Amino acid sequence: MLDIKFLRENPEIVKENIKKKFQDAKLPMVDEVIALDAESRKIQAEAQELRAERNRISKEIGMLMGQGKKEEAEEAKKKVGEFSARLAELEKLEPEYAEKVNKIMMVIPNIIDESVPIGKDDSENVEVTKYGEPFTPDFEIPYHTDIMEKLNGIDLDAARRVAGNGFYYLMGDIARLHSAVISYARDFMIDRGFTYCVPPFMIRSNVVTGVMSFAEMEAMMYKIEGEDLFLIGTSEHSMIGKYIDTIVNEETLPHTLTSYSPCFRKEKGAHGIEERGVYRIHQFEKQEMIVICKPEDSMMWFEKLWQNTVDLFRSMDIPVRTLECCSGDLADLKVKSFDVEAWSPRQQKYFEVGSCSNLGDAQARRLKIRVNGKDGKKYLAHTLNNTVVAPPRMLIAFLENNLNEDGSIRIPEVLRPYMGGKSVIEVPEANK
* 270: pLDDT strictly greater than 60: no
Q: For 282-293, what is each residue's pLDDT tens digit?
A: 999 999 999 999
4-105 matches 122-431 in fold: no
- Does the pLDDT at position 121 exceed 70? yes
The pLDDT of residue 213 is: 77
More confident residue, 379 or 63: 379
Convert the pLDDT of each residue in 356-365 to its tens digit.
999 999 999 9
- The reported pLDDT for the residue numbered 58 is 77
- C-alpha–C-alpha distance, residues 210 and 298, integer Å: 19
Alpha-carbon distance 415 to 424, whole Å? Answer: 11
Confidence class of residue 241 from pLDDT cuts 50, 70 and 90?
A: very high
The average confidence (pLDDT) of the chain is 93
The residue ranges of every structural domain in the chain are 4-105, 122-431
What type of residue is 188? F
> Is the predicted pLDDT of residue 101 greater than 60, yes or no?
yes
| Helix locations, 243-375, DSSP H | 298-315, 362-367
What's the pLDDT at 323? 97
Residue 392: phi, psi to the nearest 5?
A: -55, -50
- Measured CA to CA, the distance from residue 367 to residue 255 in angstroms comes to 16
Among 147, 155, 389, smallest CA distance to 284 is for 389
Neighbouring C-alpha atoms within 13 Å toward the C-beta of 399: 31
Give the Cα separation of 294 and 384 in Å (integer).
11
Any idea which of 16-25, 52-61, 254-263 has the lowest mean pLDDT? 52-61
Give which of 117, 128, 126 is closest to 21, Cα–Cα: 117
Q: Is the pTM of this model over 0.75?
A: yes
Q: Is the CATH code 3.30.930.10 the one for domain 122-431?
A: yes
Q: How confident is the model at residue 327 (pLDDT cuts 50, 70, 90)?
A: very high
Question: What whole-number distance in Å separates Cα of residue 146 and Cα of residue 166?
Answer: 17
Of the candidates 126, 56, 148, the one whose C-alpha atom is nearest the C-alpha of residue 330 is 126
- The pLDDT-based confidence of 43 (bands split at 50, 70, 90) is very high
Q: Which superfamily, per CATH, for 4-105?
A: Serine-tRNA synthetase, tRNA binding domain (1.10.287.40)
pLDDT score recorded for residue 42: 93
